[in-house]
Amino acid sequence: MTAAPRTPTKTAETKRAQKTLAETEATETMAAETKPAEAEPATPSPATPSPVTPSPVTPSPVMPSPVTPAPSRRLPARQSARTVGLLLRDGMRGLAQLVRTLFLQGESWLLDRKRATYGLAVTRMLLGLMIFGTLATNFSTRLYTFGAGAAWTGQLEYPSSDFSSIWPFNIFAQVAGNDIVFTELYLLLALCAVLFAIGYRTRLVMIPLFILWVGFVEVNEYVSDQSDNLTRIALIAMFFTSPAERWSMDALRRRRFAGRRSAWPIRLWRFQRVLPLWSTNLAHNLAIVVLACQVSFIYVSGGLYKAGGAPWSGGWAIYDPIHVEQFGTWPELSALVTAWAPAVAFATLLTLLVQVSFPLLLLRRGTRIFALVVMLGFHVGIAILMGLPWFSLAMIAIDSIFIRDVTWRHMSQGLRRAWLRSAPDSAPTSAHIQEK
């Protein structure tokens, strides 16, 4: 039996199906290749699984390793500004702390207690002694120098001082022609000087003492010196102090009436406290500062003026005045002191340097003692070799405020012990003091 031949229709259909399937696979392959990598690939048909085409591997670029720059020696601008700001802040804090410390120390120094009370007591006694000594040494020539005989100077008719026309300072000028009244005022001034020196009713006595003293020294300006001006300025400042706080009769009276209450006029008469303590401390201490400044001005200005002259800068200024007949009161002693030229030059230059630097030398205890010793020797030399004791005494009186209270107390205690030991009937007391 012969098999039937295939029909051409089925063969053509089969070819067309195979061709369609091949086109479909090619289309899917091309779509898979052009699809983004992040999208999921299409799931192939279960009948015809599509071949997995591997994605091309893209090589990662090689990144260069970071290069660490070398550290710069210059600080960044921001760090520099911050450093400057911190330094300024610390500096301002330190300055504020310094100002606060100085303010508190100054406030404590001014208000806590009265300063230089013993030194001011010595100033009071020496100034009173100076005024009394001036009056006593000129008593025999008072009428010729300051009274009616002073008309030869022309100061009575044509006074060169304004105080001669100001009441009450013109009281001596008005009575200069009357010898009796002039002598009475002269003795009254001497009495006020004694009462002022011993500290009796000091605040009341200072008023007539100041008026009479200024009127007296302004009668004849040809015989006055700078100690008169210094005494006048010192008395003005001492009005605001407590000059009789120590070593005075007023201090003894205050201790006697301590604790007793009474009206303020009676307390004032008894030298008891009337005003608040802080106010009197403030006035007293400020007046001490004024006195210290005045003495410093005198020394510094005098030293600068002397430095401009050839005798002081050359080193022979001490030699000239003590060999002048007008001031050389002890010619033999003057010749002995100035016999060695290097000593004269050393003393001249040392005095000049100490005067110019006097305020700075007061800042330290050691240099303060050195300056005071030099100036004390200078004034003692003027008093002895030039015959100007009252001028020197006035300067020494003001210099006394620079010595500490504890030093004055030690000196007074040593003097008291020496006085008690010198008494013949006080041997047990002296031994008792030594035991203590």
Query: pLDDT tens, 219-242?
Result: 888 888 878 888 999 999 999 999
pTM, to two decimals: 0.77
User: Bigger pLDDT: 5 or 127?
Assistant: 127
Nearest to 381 by CA among 328, 324, 340: 328
pLDDT of residue 61: 53
Check: CB of residue 412 under 8 Å from CB of residue 125: no
Over residues 338-362, mean pLDDT: 94
Q: What are phi and psi of 218, to 5 degrees?
A: -95, 0
pLDDT of residue 5: 46
Q: Which amino acid is at 388?
A: L
What backbone torsions phi and psi does residue 331 show, to the nearest 5 degrees? -60, -40
* Residue 63 confidence class, pLDDT cut points 50, 70, 90: low
Percent of the chain with pLDDT over 70: 80
Closest CA relative to residue 202, chosen from 211, 212, 192? 192
8 A C-beta contact, residue 326 and residue 310: no
CA distances in angstroms from 227 to 37, 223, 233, listed in the order given: 115, 11, 10
Reduced to 3 states (helix: H, G, I; strand: E, B; else coil), residue 343 is helix
Taking residues 32-37, report their average pLDDT.
48
Mean pLDDT value of segment 161-168: 84
As a whole number, mean pLDDT of residues 94-113 equals 93
Structure tokens that stand for 218 in this block: 């302004």
Half-sphere exposure of residue 108, counting CA atoms within 13 Å on the CB side? 6
What's the mean pLDDT in 73-82? Answer: 75
In terms of pLDDT, which residue wins out, 248 or 436?
248
Average pLDDT, the chain: 83
**Residues 67, 71, 73: CA angle, nearest 5 degrees:** 150
Does 159 score more than 60 pLDDT? yes
